[in-house]
Chain A
């Protein structure tokens, strides 16, 4: 990954909620933990030394249990919350140095947000909601009207333009939320547990809509979730937070294969490994063709198992997306891959 691909850079970000946040900051930098800090300073440690590089046109997932600081982190990116200390660069511009007026501009043009509880304007129609980001830029109605309608239709809500949010189901409301965020054409999309409030079927449908849109729009998306299946499904990269600290930030496959610590191990223990682990994560590097079938490197274990069950003794050949042979998989690799990994014990990012 070249340096130019990084769109958002978060450096040594700290957030401490409470009155004596500056004194508390020194204590945290000296290594004081969340519980001790609460006891001694009556301050809540929100974020503890977060460093995160977010690549352009990728979906960066931020995961963690409630209270781990993920919603706090995402609100720093558009400065809905001000940090106690640290640096946030977007397109190499330090957004913490923006004046109030520049910040308003920045929010209008560069970032939009989708919320867990939808946060639609109940007194505005679907059309007015979707056009809101444009309307407050003082773009005249007849100009934003067209654009808003296009996005309403893009999320599949044709014909609902004059409805009020209260008349729509949860799934439909969040489609409005998504259309509202997309309508401003901002390059960065912040999604704060956007699908968590939806039931599983609708959630999966919304995930597909998002992936479908992403394949066409190539936005930079920061997606907060507490659901690992969701993270694995949509994330190009997953960062895991615990008590305000970054525990692991890596490729999704690496999270499953090499969890950084027990916390991450706990997270991944209930997933169906056969459905998420891909061939490339368990293969033995090998340059020439093996005796069995040839499969793509992103095929999941479950499918490989299906193929190998016909001829268990023949190793399958793995090729990358361009068709080059990169390795082989034998039955023993499959068994190894299904086994729950030991945590690495140390934090790894890579």
Chain B
């Protein structure tokens, strides 16, 4: 009856052997291919470095002006623009300008990367139920697995630095854009698609002329979520060498600096709120035709 009270698990030596095999296999893999993979990501690294330098080296009034203009184009709302202006002034005044620019750079690059990979993935999922059945569980894993777990292989493979940080952010942030692209396309009214069919539209004409435009508000909700999740990863990414607002927070945790942690944490919150308001207002404007909108 021993098996009834104690789980009949594998022996300790077998287990150690098993873990060792996995570890060694991956170490071997990263030794033989690590350099290749790293050089594969070189263009990305160069772009990221260039982008970050651009943000840090451009005089701050120009950056603020640019951001305000973008906020206006996105939201067309005076309160949002004023809020954005005050937030950036405060961030600068409290000495967090450079870190904020670094964070902004990595968030934008990560978002761009997620969109350019995620939207085609979503389209493929919407086209075929088989592809959907394959990708959904992968997305589930990506969203629920503790980030520290996939940091391990990423760091083993690529070391510490910006690129592994970027990859970690993307793994965490890409699922919403994929899911919502898929959902948005699948939710397009069947009658409207049938009409397009009856006039002899081919697959691409339907995709770009009907499905994507009608799915755009949903896709945009995905972009919004992706940005929010990327921001949430900033602190964790700083553990593997990404500069920005996350690093001071990390320092604050280990040394119990309350003010430092609070300030940088709030700066992340402020960035998140600005991104969220601007993209949401933009998303709403895109579906104006649904209500009364004649513009």
The answer for the CA separation of A122 and B290 in the assembled complex, in Å, is 7
Chain B interfacial residues counted at CB < 8 A: 23
A184 within 8 A of B: yes
Distance between Cα atoms of A322 and B205 in the complex (Å):
52
Task: State whether A166 touches B199 (Cβ < 8 A).
Answer: no
What chain A residues lie within 8 Å of B195 (beta carbons)?
A: 113, 115, 119-121
A119-B191, A121-B210, A123-B214 are contacts. A162–B294 as well, Cβ < 8 Å? yes
User: Are A122 and B197 in contact, CB atoms less than 8 angstroms apart?
Assistant: no
Q: Does A263 contact B (CB under 8 A)?
A: no
**0 or 1 for each of B187-203: is its CB under 8 Å from A? (1 = yes):** 00101101111111110
Write the A178-198 contact mask toward B (1 if CB under 8 angstroms, else 0): 001000100000100000000
Count of A-B residue pairs with CB < 8 Å: 71
Pick from A78, A119, A167, A184 the residue with the most CB of B within 10 Å: A119
A163 (CB) vs chain B CBs: closest residue: B294
B209: CB under 8 A from chain A? yes
Is A317 close to B, CB under 8 A? no
Q: Beta-carbon contacts of A28-40 to B below 8 Å, as 1s and 0s?
A: 0000000000000
* In the assembled complex, B140 has its CB within 8 A of some CB on chain A: no
Find chain B residues with CB under 8 A from A78 CB.
198
Q: Which residue of chain B lies nearest to A129 when distances are taken between CB atoms in the complex? A: B195
Task: Name the A residues within 8 Å of B200 (CB-CB).
Answer: 103-109, 133, 136-137
Closest chain B residue, CB of each to CB of A116: B191
Decide: B202 and A104 in contact? CB cutoff 8 A. Answer: yes
Q: Taking the nearest CB of chain A, how far is it from the CB of B271, in angstroms? A: 32
Residue A202 is within 8 A (CB to CB) of chain B in the complex: no
Q: Is the CB of A121 within 8 A of B192?
A: yes
Contact residues of B between 184 and 238, Cβ < 8 Å to A: 189, 191-192, 194-202, 205, 209-210, 213-214
B292 to chain A, nearest CB (A): 6
Interface residues of A in 166-220 (CB under 8 A from B): 166-167, 180, 184, 190
Q: Which A residue sits closest to B206, measured CB to CB?
A: A136
Across the interface, do A164 and B289 meet the contact criterion of CB distance under 8 Å?
yes
Chain A residue with Cβ nearest B201: A136
0/1 string, B244-286, CB within 8 A of A gives 1 = 0000000000000000000000000000000000000000000
Distance in Å from the Cβ of A130 to the closest Cβ of chain B?
11
On chain B, the residues within 8 Å of A167 by CB distance are 292, 294
How far apart are B64's CB and chain A's nearest CB, in angstroms? 35
**Chain A interface residue number, banded:** 20 to 34
Q: How far is the CA of A166 from the CA of B291 in the complex (A)?
A: 7
Q: Choose among A78, A111, A117, A123 the residue with the greatest number of B CB atoms under 10 Å from its CB.
A: A123
With A117-B191, A122-B192, A122-B289: A80-B198 Cβ-Cβ less than 8 Å? yes
Taking a contact as CB atoms under 8 Å apart, the answer to whether B191 and A166 are in contact is no
Closest residue of B by beta carbon distance from A101: B202
Evaluate whether A111 and B293 lie within 8 angstroms (CB atoms) in the complex, with A122-B192, A136-B209 already known: no
Chain B residues whose CB sits within 8 angstroms of the CB of A113 once the complex forms: 195, 198-199
Nearest Cβ in chain B — how far from A115, in angstroms? 6
Cα(A80)–Cα(B191), bound, Å: 12
The reply to whether the CB of A132 lies closer than 8 angstroms to some CB of chain B is: yes
Distance A163 CA – B213 CA, assembled complex (angstroms): 17
A278: Cβ under 8 A from any B Cβ: no
Nearest residue, chain A, Cβ from B210:
A121
**Beta-carbon contacts under 8 Å, B133-155 to A:** none
Complex: A120 Cα to B210 Cα, angstroms: 11
A80 partner, pick from B197, B210, B289, B293, beta carbons under 8 A: B197
Nearest-CB residue, chain A, relative to B209: A136
Complex CA gap A78/B195 in Å reads 11
User: For residue A123, which residues in chain B have a CB less than 8 angstroms away from its CB?
Assistant: 213-214, 289
Q: CA separation between A123 and B291, bound complex, in Å?
A: 11
Residues of B162-189 whose CB lies within 8 A of A: 189
* Proximity bits, A83-124, B CB within 8 Å = 1, else 0: 000000000000000000001111111011101010111110
A107 to B206, CA, bound (A): 14
Given the complex, which residues of B lie within 8 Å of A105, measured CB to CB? Answer: 200
Question: Would B294 and A112 count as touching, CB distance under 8 A?
Answer: no
Contact status A111-B289, CB under 8 Å: no
CB pair B289–A166 under 8 Å, yes or no, is yes
Give which listed residue, B202, B205, B214, contacts A122 with CB less than 8 A: B214
Cβ A115 vs Cβ B191 within 8 A: yes
| B257 CB to nearest A CB, Å | 51
List chain A residues, Cβ under 8 A from B199.
107-108, 112-113, 132-133, 136, 180, 184
Contact between A164 and B202 (Cβ–Cβ < 8 Å)? no
Residues from chain B with Cβ under 8 Å of A136 in the complex: 196, 199-202, 205, 209
When C-beta atoms are compared, the residue in chain B nearest to A186 turns out to be B199
Within 8 A of B (CB), among A47-71: none
How would residues 303 to 334 of chain A score, 1 for a CB under 8 Å from any chain B CB and 0 otherwise?
A: 00000000000000000000000000000000
B198 touching A112, Cβ below 8 Å: yes
Instruction: Give Cα distance in the complex from A180 to B192, angstroms.
Output: 13
Question: Mind listing 21 A-B residue pairs with CB under 8 Å?
Answer: A103-B200, A105-B200, A107-B199, A111-B198, A112-B198, A112-B199, A113-B195, A113-B199, A115-B191, A115-B194, A117-B191, A121-B196, A121-B210, A122-B192, A123-B213, A133-B199, A136-B201, A136-B209, A162-B294, A166-B290, A184-B199
If A104-B201, A113-B199, A136-B209 are given as contacts, then 16 extra A-B residue pairs at C-beta distance below 8 Å, sorted by A number, are: A80-B194, A104-B200, A105-B200, A107-B197, A109-B200, A111-B198, A112-B198, A115-B194, A115-B195, A117-B191, A120-B192, A132-B196, A136-B196, A136-B205, A164-B289, A166-B292
